[in-house]
Chains A and B, each alone.
Chain A
Amino acid sequence: MTDYEHYEAIVVGAGPGGAAAAATFANYGIETLVLERGVEAGSKNVSGGLIYAEESAPYTIDDLFPGFREEAAERPITTYRIHNIAGSKVESFDLTRLHEHDTEWSDAVLRRKMDSWLAERVHERTREAGGGLLTDVHVNGLLREDGKIVGITTDELDPITADVIVAADGVNSELARDAGLMDWDEPEEWFQGVKAVVDMPADVIADRFDVGEDEGAAHLFSGDLFSGVRGGGFLYTNRESLSLGTVFHLDSLVAERAEPHELLDAMLTHPLLGQWLDEDYTEVEYSAKLVPDSKKVALREPHFGRLMVVGDAAGQMQAQGPIIKGMNHAVSAGALAAEAYAQAKSRNSPEDAGTLYAKKLKREGVMQKLRPQGYELMRGITERDSVTDLVDSVLTSSVGRFGVRALSGQLERLYNTPALSSMIPDTRTPYVTLPTVIAEELGTRIRETNDVSPPDLEARIENLTYDTDIGNPHITVLDNSFEASGAAVSACPVSAVDFGGGCYREEFVRTNGSEERVVSLDTQPCVECGTCAVVADTEWTHPRGGKGVEFNQG
């Protein structure tokens, strides 16, 4: 056996999942090395984002990191509303009850600030146990000996072995893929999130959102403003900025050939948002990232040999109706994985860590949230196209409209029912048809004007920070025919049909007299969202450590 550098535990990725795993290992005195590819933890990460501390969760972020809320978070979210939109008609419901269900607290966060704060704590604590946290290291695969996973390989360091490896490397986990636990084939299994962070002084936020210093607001948007694409929009208040974004089902985005940045703009410029945004609109960052849909991809056995997979890497991202819960589950899973290893080791059977970790996910109720039984049961019926068509046609008929009017007093209550929101079928009915009908039947017309003119894609790209790995593109198109990879031209958040400055471009080449429609790729403006790993035929990896895009907000 080659003489490799060895640590007892290796954690790949310093997002909430990795931070929780590393802190828990350190609590058990286990020597832990944490490897993060960004120049700083958080520089690659994007979330909406509201982090939840659930009452029923086995671990919360502030259990593991005292002082988190004061030092790493933005504002507690104290008001939560959803707006059903049809044209300029809007019917709003207060969803604060759903938001507060099983919630100890929930804060808005910006990931650069949050993750870098966590990483400092993690480094201090893991260093004490003989390990530590390194940035600028891209883990590119698993190290195997005699077919067994024994460690990891990286672009920057010599291979390293470990007794246990936690893959907390987020959506598009290269380690989960290498272990054969995840593939990136089905657009139905993913959402795409796109986000803009917008400057706004604290006093203006207080005024426009009617919130005190330690209060914040969340607003959700659904209905007909997104050209029929299944998904919705969000607005969260930070201390001195707003996070505005959209989350769409990737298959729907592809089917409609929608341009993600245009959908975001549709929201930013909707009259409803005129009460919060004005012509002084200053976008400080545009970003995007894939989001797994746990209902479909959460791994039931997220482990293989010495490898345990946590957070987005294991598909543990729950869309509970409009509420998005990924960070909190990553924290629970990370801590449970480390705890499982420590306990298995104390019973002299460290090889059982993975199985124990999977058991804990079930026992602690995490798996039930990620893959709710109600959804599994209903899915067979509610997601059939014929059923969707039937429900939609009933809903939009006079009968359905009558029903909506008759239910008007109770709709808000229904929306606030956690059991219902976890079963919501993945069809256009709840995302588009129902909110539209509600707004049409019950809504009030918005008279406000909206003077926002969002920057175009070119300006958005120009405003981002990149350290391009020249001559070493991290994505290669394997099949450049339009049939195989053309979906990326519109689905890539930094590309667009007829835009030459993005990643994917449509081209026509003449061969033997016939014209062929192909795509070409330039990874320079890539924001590493992962979309084209799924919707195009590519060989997809992340860039080398420290290279590529660097988010300052996240």
Chain B
Amino acid sequence: MVFTGTETLFFLLGIITTLFILGLIKYNKQLKFNALSWALLGTGSFLCIFCIAWSVSAVLEGVPRAASMGMVVFGIPSLLMLLLGRRFAIKKSK
């Protein structure tokens, strides 16, 4: 293998981060986020990326329980924040 598991992970995280940022910029143009939506969507995006990083790393190091716990502890709050942020943004734009 040319790249290690971690290197591949961080390369993909770079792409995912870029997609998240582009997504936020695009939807902000459409929906004009207020401060609350920004806070929820920003934190949710960060937590979601962190959840992917944590869980994949835990699988790579051979501790699957840490991966599932990572999904519960970081993944669920991130989804809730993203959903709530989206909801506030849509509500406000109506």
Q: Do these two chains interact?
A: no
